[in-house]
Amino acid sequence: MVRVTHDSTPALTAPGTIVHRADEPDAPWWHDAVIYQIYPRSWADADGDGIGDLPGITARLPYLRDLGVDAVWLSPFYVSPMNDAGYDVADYRDIDPRFGTLDDADAMIATAHDLGLKVVVDLVPNHTSSEHAWFQAALAAAPGSPERDRYVFRDGRGPGGAEPPNNWSSVFGGRGWTRVTEADGSPGQWYLHIFDVTQPDLNWHNPEVRAEFESILRFWCDRGVDGFRVDVAHGLVKEDGLPDWHGPMGVFDEVDADTGPSGIGRDVEELEGHDGTMVLDHSATGNAPMWDQDGVHEIYRAWRDVLDSYGEPDRILCAEAWVKPATRLARYVRDDEMHQAFNFDFLDTHWNAAALARVIESSLRSNDAVGAPTTWVLSNHDVVRHATRLGLDQSAPRTNGIRATDPQPDAALGLRRARAATALMLGLPGGAYLYQGEELGLPEHTTMPDEVRQDPTFHRTDHAIAGRDGCRVPMPWVKDAPSLGFGPGDDPWLPQPEAYADLAVDQQAGVDGSTLELYKALLRTRHQQCLGRGALTWDALTSETVVAVRNSSPERDADVLVLANIGPDPVPLPDGEVLVASGPLSPGHLPADTTAWLRVATA
């Protein structure tokens, strides 16, 4: 049973007391970079096959320069059977023909650099595809062979080894083990797959595995990439002995107090937090035998040595690590390990001022303790888009996908809150990641027909969990064009909802008040005011309904007050020059679900 402890989050630091000190003016680029995630299948289709590709990405890169971001992160484009949208990699050193060629990758990287954009690529080290040459060799080899030792093969339990080696489930639903048939036709060993059955877990105790991935890092650094987003960074090392586990298995799934993530956890309890909401004890994250084991840190120290050998500017590592509490996540960004780790606590927090204020302070303090910047995020390819998520019941658990038969969001409310949430996030010190299309206010596709869904979560849970397809829908570029300008054909790999037409880039570019122009203004002002390198103190206006932070810096002679009204009623707007606001302002007041940045006298 997961141990339950009461929320002991301390009260916020008193207004006027520094929570986070300003960064140095010459801090490395990644300390305050805004990085834009491109999901290659859904960004731009150059050849008309309905799937986005590298030439399409290259052609659209000037859009990102004009948006004002510093770098791009590309989800996987490697050779893959696409059983999990490319996160099942068959060859880490080549491009899947759906996306193009290595020459196309080189051209994309060169074009990005010419435009002043850095390039971060995805790396998937927890597992390979079952079509990877290593796994095919493992299937052909005998139990106990060097080929099998690259993966997690075990004998089964019970008579004839007919039962899996332990009780672990798959994050995508069903059990986490599959039995193989040996060369002589007899039932054989079992292999571990924490995700899909076609994604066998690697054995990171094997030196050959470690050497291979250090070589992969060098391969892509030599081609000019500026960093790596590391998939499931907290999952590589498993506890010795692979003990049974009765807690939740989810990585990015909804949390239900009775059954755990995706209904596959057990015996999860809830308790009442300080603000009256029900919370789960997540201190057990590091105790789960498949997550956040201490051995992962030795791996990342070795990777850091590889990247540091390339000199300046820094090549970076960013951890996708669903780890709690924040102090444990901060271990991934110690000065000899990774550079960044996504702040999923921030993403997971409901639209509640007290909760947001607590996670902002705890995140900054935890990272400051190891000398690392905080990396903020609100949406990505694995979660319901925040323009939709914030239009749902904010007392309910975060859901993994939405179907037409599920409760539907309040679209207008969700967009208003999403704009305010982004303005709050981009006003904070540290780095930030944006997910493609959020600058258009794109909602989740919540009425997608079940027959077109491709996420293995949907299929492995017998359609009980909608999964992630709704946030992966192709971009709308031009309202009156085939596939809304995504490509020359009119049959993209996932259908676009009707709402995307009026949100297309050509419908928002240059339009005052549009979400696209808001993002441009936020990014431009953030850069001009050096907000990503600023110090943070709480302003006295912070309350149960308002998050108010002062962002100060020796690089300017005034503070920027970031004021987010998360309550239901307007609040007085203090004196100051409004630099940007997430929505229209009332005379002398900040409306509900609105964030404003004001230039104010230094406190």
Task: Return the percentage of the chain with pLDDT > 90, whole number.
Answer: 89
| 569 falls within a domain | no
Q: Is the dihedral of CA 119, 125, 130, 135 positive or negative?
A: positive
In the prediction, which pLDDT does 421 show? 98
Question: What are 435-491's pLDDT values in tens digits?
Answer: 999 999 999 999 999 999 999 989 989 999 999 999 999 999 999 999 999 999 999
Ramachandran angles phi, psi of 560, nearest 5° = -110, 120
| 431 falls within a domain | yes
Same domain, 403 and 430: yes
Distance (Å, whole) CA 140 – CA 121: 32
Same domain, 249 and 344: yes
Q: Is the pLDDT of residue 578 over 80?
A: yes
Average pLDDT over residues 569-594: 97
Same domain, 185 and 222: no
Q: Which domain holds residue 147?
A: 133-192
| 456 falls within a domain | yes
Which of 520, 554, 570 terminates a domain? The answer is 520
Same domain, 443 and 316: yes
Question: What are 493-536's pLDDT values in tens digits?
Answer: 999 999 999 999 999 999 999 999 999 999 999 999 999 999 99
In the prediction, which pLDDT does 383 show? 96
Distance (Å, whole) CA 96 – CA 574: 54
In the prediction, which pLDDT does 286 show? 63
Instruction: Determine the 3-state secondary structure of 123 from DSSP.
Output: strand
Same domain, 465 and 397: yes
Same domain, 183 and 302: no
**Domain at 477, CATH number:** 3.20.20.80
Residues assigned a catalytic role? 231, 320
Same domain, 97 and 114: yes
Average pLDDT over residues 397-415: 95
Whole-prediction pTM value? 0.93
| 265 falls within a domain | yes
Distance (Å, whole) CA 375 – CA 360: 11
In the prediction, which pLDDT does 68 show? 98
Same domain, 293 and 250: yes
Same domain, 338 and 438: yes
Which residues are within 8 A (CB) of 479 and not within 5 positions of it... i.e. 6 or more apart? Answer: 485, 501, 502, 504, 506, 507
| 37 falls within a domain | yes
Q: What's the per-residue H, E or C state across 343-381? A: CHHHHHCCCCHHHHHHHHHHHHHHHHCCCCCCEEECCCC
> Total structural domains in the chain?
2
Which of 500, 520, 540 terminates a domain? The answer is 520
Which of 147, 169, 192 terminates a domain? The answer is 192
